Amino acid sequence: MKYASLFLFAGYLLAPVPVQAGWWRTYGGPYDAAGFSVQQTSDSGYVVVGYTEGSGEHDVFIVKTDSAGDTLWTRTYGGSYYNEGRGIQQTVDGGYIIAGYAGNPRTADYDLYLIKTDVHGDTLWSRRYGGADEDMGMCVRQTADSGYVAVGHTRSFGAGQYDVYLVRTDKNGDSLWTRTYGGTWFDEGQTVYQTTDGGFVVAGTTGTGYDIYVVKTTASGDTLWTRTYAGTDFGEVGTELGLTQDGGYIITGYADSLGGDVCLIKTGASGDTTWTRTYGGNNGDGGHAVQQTADSGYIVAGTTLSFGAGFVDVYLVKTNAFGDTLWTRTYGGTSYDEGYAVQQTADGGYIVTGRTKSYGAGSPDDYNLYLVKTDALGRLSLTEENAEPRSPSRTLAATVMRSLPQGALVFDAMGRRTVNPGSGVYFVQDAVSGRPSSVTRAVVTK
């Protein structure tokens, strides 16, 4: 439903200015789709990678949007069987590099999969890396020499059941070297960064208890040090690591030993723990992504069963530089909604991606890719501007209400529902879907 964006009544002008604090969108359908990595792009829009059911059982799925989340284009990559995108980064040429995996789930023969595209998402090249068994990619970064480094796990090489798998390539995707890290059990890599010394830092999990595992390497991939971080029960599972302004690292995951809380670990440059924090309730919560924010604090995205509107909701936690909670937010409906990646945006807000069963197209049993844009406080509702509009007569309220479509809900600038709007800032919402539909700001002046 689209609402009119300009009202003129009895000499009063309601002028629309889009100051919506945030928005959310779904993409995909009618079958399963999800987003695992998101980045704000150089044109102030967003790019998301994940998967969708397509020509194969799963295809790598990219969605490129404008700054309002409206789709500019989508692309799928892959052939038959199973292909999934896990990490994406915009490259210096304006295109994109994607990491994921491709293979046959019936034989467990997967390869780490890299795709390089131009700015429109058209494939420039793709490469597969691995052996005869299971090899998967979870994250990729462009390196200082315009090549790439990707991390995941391998069952084809290494010392154990699974080992962390690091692949270093040139700008054309040709392998320069590969390395494995880990012991005799399960070791998996989730994220990688190039560090200021030209080396790399990798985070993931290790051991039967899936403890957090961090490996620091030289530029050639040789190990400088490793660290594990564990709780007292089944350990603490690390899902993402970020670089911090002091040369150290911030790691998030979930702490099984503490009943399933989001965990946050701050370390120094050598991986030694500075502090740890946990967040959540009593029913199971986990962190999937973390980034240091411009105010030196941290933003964590994940999932929660303890809070929110549904069985599982997207969970966003904002902390100060010491890990103390500043605010938390949940997003989603009455079903499953999960957050897998977060990034602070140029306006100080946040962009979060994941998947949802609460909203979108298709069967209630299928996920849709979920994209949530918030303001700096994690809000989706409007915030009031520092303005003092003149006071029109009270008859304006009735006139405005009669002009809206049947069933429309009206909220003031603080997100409170009202049936008697006067002078001020308002927005309207579709009462059926509950979604902001062509949300506009109306400033009433005399």
pLDDT tens per residue, range 14-42: 333 344 579 999 999 788 999 999 999 99
Stated pTM of the model: 0.81
Beta partners for residue 126, in sequence order: 115
- Residue position matching structure tokens 């890290």: 181
pLDDT of 417 reads 53
pLDDT of 419 reads 54
395-400, Cβ contacts within 8 angstroms, sequence gap of 24 or more? 395/10, 396/9, 396/10, 396/12, 396/421, 396/422, 396/444, 397/421, 397/422, 399/9, 399/10, 400/7, 400/9, 400/14, 400/442
Q: Is residue 168 within 8 Å of residue 175, measured between CB atoms?
A: yes
Structure-block tokens of residue 312: 């599982």
pLDDT of 25 reads 97
pLDDT of 55 reads 62
pLDDT of 305 reads 93
Neighbours of 97 (CB within 10 A): 22
Domains and CATH numbers, the chain: 7-17+384-445 (no CATH), 23-374 (2.130.10.10)
pLDDT tens track for 105-158: 788 789 999 999 999 999 999 999 999 999 999 999 999 999 999 999 999 999
Chain Cα centroid distance, residue 2: 29
pLDDT of 69 reads 97
Low-confidence ranges of the chain (pLDDT < 50): 1-19, 232-234, 258, 383-402, 413-414, 416, 430-446
| DSSP H or E segment with residue 322 | none
Q: In whole angstroms, give the CA distance from residue 63 to residue 180.
A: 32
Q: Is residue 417 within 8 Å of residue 410, measured between CB atoms?
A: yes
Q: Which residues contact 259 (CB under 8 A, 6 or more apart)?
A: 282, 284
